[in-house]
Amino acid sequence: MTDNTKKFLVVFGGGFLLFWLLKDSRLMGASGKKKDKDTGPADKIKSPEIDPKQIKNKQQANAFVALKAYIDAMNAGENQKALDDLNREFTKDLKVRVYKRSSDGKLVVSNLEGAVLMINGG
């Protein structure tokens, strides 16, 4: 192998290595990956606010806690599997479940018998 061939391989190999390391780098301000969905402020669900005087019993307090935690998880970008796991925890610990109503898309908290305890935004 000649000196010129060795230099060519070193330069080409070094250039390829730099390209491979920096191709997905954010050093230059560009990203090679595109996000599936841009979550801007318009995509965020407003967190529920309730006056403590409106909470009449422990079940309503549990419903409020579950709804707030579910909305926080949704706003953080959790996937559906994580939200389902969170809902299972609500079912075991708080005896409530959270679901999205298909008719209007609002989040609803119900007890395990199906009685609606709280509706986000309603």
DSSP string covering 46-108, please? PPP---GGG--SHHHHHHHHHHHHHHHHHHTT--HHHHHHHHHHHHHHTSEEEEE-TTT--EE
Res 95: pLDDT: 92
Q: Which residue in 109, 6, 122, 19 sits closest to 61, CA to CA? A: 109
Res 26: pLDDT: 58
- The string of pLDDT tens digits covering residues 30-60 is 555 555 554 444 567 777 777 666 777 888 8
Residue 28 or 88, more confident? 88
